[in-house]
Structure 1
Amino acid sequence: MNAKTLTQSFNFQSTTVRPTMQRTLMMSMIALSMGGMSVAAQAQTQQQTEIEQLRQEVQALRGLIEQQKVQNAQTASAIANVQRSSASPSPILKTAKGAEFNLYGNVRLDASYQVEGSSRDLPYNHINAVALEGNNESSDRLRSTLSATRLGLDFKSPVGDRDVKGKIEVDFLGGSNFDNLRIRHAYLNYGNWLIGQTWSNFAIPDYMPETIDALAFVGGAVKRTPQVRHTTKFSPQTNLVVAAEDPKDATISQRLPALTARLNHQFADNLNVSVRAMGHEKRVNSEEEMAWGVGVGVKYEVIPGTTLKADYYHVKGDSSFVSFTNRGVVAQANGDLIQSEFDSIMVGITQKFSDKIHGTLGYGYMSFDENQSYTNILKNSFPKDSTQSDATRANKELWQGWANIFYSPRKPLSFGLEYVYGERTALEAVNGSKTGEDNRINAVAIYNF
């Protein structure tokens, strides 16, 4: 085949193939275009679906937020109501001169059933004077009183750059029959100084195990005295309190106040210790002797909810600070003074069973040194209209043990039940008996306000 023939053949094939290729290419482009349009349509549809789902989720979230707002408002209202109902202390009031004060107190009903013993018509403890066996005991008898009902006022007023703070508190346990209004506390605090009447700096109740009896049990003290007191703080854990006190000792002619000192120290969060000392001149006619005493108190939280308390005293020549003692000093015929001397201890453990229930188990003991000269003076002394000498009224030993339980169903209310048994041994016998017993059941109901 010659060149011309090849050329013509090639041209013929090219002419024949080109339209076919063009058609194929065009169809491919159309197919690609249609596929792209389909993918775009699918993508648009999917996007619209996602947008709709997102819109629904936003609506649901808005609903949850609104619901949470309502719940928060209800919770805040409930908390506010609880805070208002449990607010303490009560709203502060003001006097016309701008002093702020809070009023508080309680209504208290005490009842005591004397199983055996006693010689006085009292619902409170008098272990040092219970009848000796076979000598007119007052057994199987119920007594009740509201004399321990209390009313108090705390106040403060700015003076310079400090506040003067104070307290006035009264109850109805005054007089020989414990049915007259009396001052419990009445004092002012300014800085480190206290002036007025409050708990003695020597015989304090802080380390006494809890009792229902308003006068406490043997080994303890509930003494309040007029005093001038100063507190020195050495550290947050240690302070020294010194005071000049009027112990109101009716058995002497007083010309000087008693001097007392108390060192308090906190060894740990659960251990507090107090060491105390007292000195006081005892003057009868022109003769005088120095009375003195020391005391140690301990409070120890053994484990959370279990607390141990103990209080010890050794005193010579004084009967005005610690409760239930013999006469501190007596005069002989020649004028010389003889002093009584004693040791006492009170110990107890308190267990908290729940927020509403707690109880205490306690024991108290007091022992007087034997001094025949002291006893002889009392044997020859007879109170007016009495056939018994003072020696039968004074004691060689006293002891009491008790167990109680307190129940507080609601915050203002408290109820207690207590059993106590104790004995006294007199210096001299009456009708052949030196021993008297105190066997009682105590109950109390208190409403605090």
Structure 2
Amino acid sequence: MKTQKLNLVKKTFKIKPMILACAAAFPMWTHAAVSEAEVEQLRDEVKALKAMMQQYVQQQNTLSSEIKDVKQGPVVTAQTQKTTQTPSLSLNTKSGAEFSLYGNVRADASYQAEGGSLSRLYNQMNSVPLEGNAESSDRLKATLAATRLGLDFKTPTQVGEVGGKIEVDFLGANDGLRIRHAYLTYGDWLVGQTWSNFAVPDYMPETIDALGYVGGAVKRTPQVRYSHKFSPETNLVLAAEDSKDDSSNMRLPALTARLNHKMTDTLMLSARAMGAEKKTDTDTETAWGLGLGAKLDLTDKTVLKADYYHVKGDSSFVSWTNQGFVTNADKDIIATNEFDSITVGLTQQISAQWRGTLGYGYMKADNNADYVNSLVDKTKANKNLWQAWANVFYSPVKPISLGLEYVYGEREAFGAAPNGSTKGEDNRINAVAMYNF
């Protein structure tokens, strides 16, 4: 179409001189001896030629304008831009909240040379049988119970954005569905269940075991939490939590505080504190704890993590601990357990597809005679625990992660079994395959 218009322009320039020549010759014709009818005919033809010339001039101007537009390109208006943009995909609930779906399909397997009961695949270091006493040896276990499904929500409002999360897996009783996280957020506030403000997993070295190893904690509690940011590097988090301690009749929530500080671009620190009332039918006692975590990027591919706890009177926040307190026949609290624990690990990103971790965890209980002598079964309480592990992960493509891990650990009990043994052993190879979506 544009080519046809350009050809029409060329023809227009050729016709125009002919029209002008005819017009110039017209006066000469009027001096000749011609009839009145011929003169009128000539006048009509001249008028027609003038009309044709004006039409051609208009067409020429129009074509010139179009040619200029072709050279400059189309003019895109704001309205054109608005209507030609590809709309973004948005998922909404019936009430108008935006949401996104995430999760993983996870298959775990473990070959257990020595370890805990047949009913559980994951870590149970504090209760593995003592040597020679109904040990669970040479067992293969598998489960998909750690498969996870989550939803993140957000709703813009006139007074700010309201957010929420629901996340579940199948690690409940008999592989039943259980709540991992379920909370709402508004401004600096959080209400619901999520990671404890005291026993955070952020500084645990990476493991394949879904529950982690000695020295770490994977505690999730119902809580009301408030966060305050002092600067881009420092923030304080305060929370009132239900620690779900079955040994205590909770009357007041546990109070926790966590101060996070980014020392440098490569070093992050976290200091934590906890206080909680432990209550029986006739007595009360105050439990407390301190924690310190650190994450250091040694290089852009090497990360060092460490986490330390000192706790007295509580067994609900940090995993694998002894009973927090013991009572007499009258339900009076006569002694409490006190312990120190630490976990440390190094993770190396070997390549874009490969990474691995070396880790070690240790826990030591205070040798409190009043506490130990009050225990009904001293073989179920531990002087100390330790575990060491090494794992490697391979991701052939981004959504898939395959892992293999070896873990070895020991526990030393306060009391000896009938055969005189005080040592229990955990010796396993773990494997995992995950599809993350």
> Does structure 2 conserve the Cα–Cα contact (< 8 Å) formed by 1:107 and 1:150?
yes
TM-score by length of 1: 0.76
> Does structure 2 conserve the Cα–Cα contact (< 8 Å) formed by 1:110 and 1:445?
yes
For residues 36-75 of structure 1, the aligned pairs below 5 Å read: none
Matching residue of 1:411: 398
TM-score by length of 2: 0.78
Matching residue of 1:300: 296
In 1, Cα distance between the equivalents of 2:342 and 2:266? 21
- Identify which of 138, 141, 163 aligns with 2:139: 141
The one-letter code of the counterpart of 1:349 is L
Matching residue of 1:54: none
User: How many residues are matched?
Assistant: 349
> Does structure 1 conserve the Cα–Cα contact (< 8 Å) formed by 2:112 and 2:140?
yes
Paired residue secondary structure (2:320): coil
Residue 446 (str. 1) matches residue 428 (str. 2)? no
For residues 96-135 of structure 1, the aligned pairs below 5 Å read: 96-135=94-133
> Does structure 1 conserve the Cα–Cα contact (< 8 Å) formed by 2:334 and 2:371?
no
Matching residue of 1:377: 374
Structure 1 residues 270-326: Cα deviation after superposition (integer angstroms, max 9, x where no partner): 100000000000011121110000000000001110000000000000000000111
> Does structure 2 conserve the Cα–Cα contact (< 8 Å) formed by 1:91 and 1:102?
no
Residue 230 (str. 1) matches residue 217 (str. 2)? no
Given the superposition, is the C-alpha separation of residues 394 and 92 from structure 1 closer, same or farther in structure 2, using an over 3 Å criterion? farther
Given the superposition, is the C-alpha separation of residues 105 and 317 from structure 1 closer, same or farther in structure 2, using an over 3 Å criterion? same
In 1, Cα distance between the equivalents of 2:433 and 2:183? 28
For residues 8-23 of structure 1, the aligned pairs below 5 Å read: none
For residues 81-92 of structure 1, the aligned pairs below 5 Å read: 91-92=89-90
Matching residue of 2:385: 398
In 2, Cα distance between the equivalents of 1:250 and 1:163? 36
> Does structure 1 conserve the Cα–Cα contact (< 8 Å) formed by 2:347 and 2:357?
yes
Note the residue ranges of structure 2 that are not aligned, 5 or more in a row: 1-85
Given the superposition, is the C-alpha separation of residues 91 and 421 from structure 1 closer, same or farther in structure 2, using an over 3 Å criterion? farther
Give the root-mean-square deviation of aligned CA atoms. Answer: 1.3
Matching residue of 1:345: 342
Give the drift of 1:91. 4.9
The one-letter code of the counterpart of 1:164 is V
- Large movers: runs of 4+ above 4 Å: none
Paired residue secondary structure (1:268): coil
Give the drift of 1:117. 3.1
Structure 1 residues 18-45: Cα deviation after superposition (integer angstroms, max 9, x where no partner): xxxxxxxxxxxxxxxxxxxxxxxxxxxx
Give the drift of 1:159. 2.4
For residues 250-269 of structure 1, the aligned pairs below 5 Å read: 250-269=246-265
For residues 286-365 of structure 1, the aligned pairs below 5 Å read: 286-333=282-329, 335-365=332-362
Q: Which is further off, 370-379 or 250-259?
A: 370-379
Matching residue of 2:75: none
The one-letter code of the counterpart of 1:112 is S
Structure 1 residues 170-190: Cα deviation after superposition (integer angstroms, max 9, x where no partner): 000112x5x111000000110
Matching residue of 2:160: 162
Paired residue secondary structure (1:210): coil
The one-letter code of the counterpart of 1:343 is D
Residue 214 (str. 1) matches residue 210 (str. 2)? yes
In 2, Cα distance between the equivalents of 1:91 and 1:204? 34
- Identify which of 231, 235, 239 aligns with 1:239: 235
Paired residue secondary structure (1:373): helix
Give the drift of 1:344. 0.2
> Does structure 2 conserve the Cα–Cα contact (< 8 Å) formed by 1:332 and 1:338?
no
In 2, Cα distance between the equivalents of 1:234 and 1:448? 35
Give the drift of 1:333. 3.9
For residues 188-199 of structure 1, the aligned pairs below 5 Å read: 188-199=184-195
The percentage of counterpart residues that share the same residue type is 66
> Does structure 2 conserve the Cα–Cα contact (< 8 Å) formed by 1:287 and 1:337?
no
In 2, Cα distance between the equivalents of 1:246 and 1:328? 16
Give the drift of 1:120. 3.8
The one-letter code of the counterpart of 1:273 is L
In 1, Cα distance between the equivalents of 2:394 and 2:417? 42
> Does structure 1 conserve the Cα–Cα contact (< 8 Å) formed by 2:285 and 2:333?
no
Structure 1 residues 124-169: Cα deviation after superposition (integer angstroms, max 9, x where no partner): 0000010100001111110000000000000101222311011000
In 1, Cα distance between the equivalents of 2:244 and 2:120? 23
In 2, Cα distance between the equivalents of 1:252 and 1:95? 40
- Identify which of 276, 280, 286 aligns with 1:280: 276
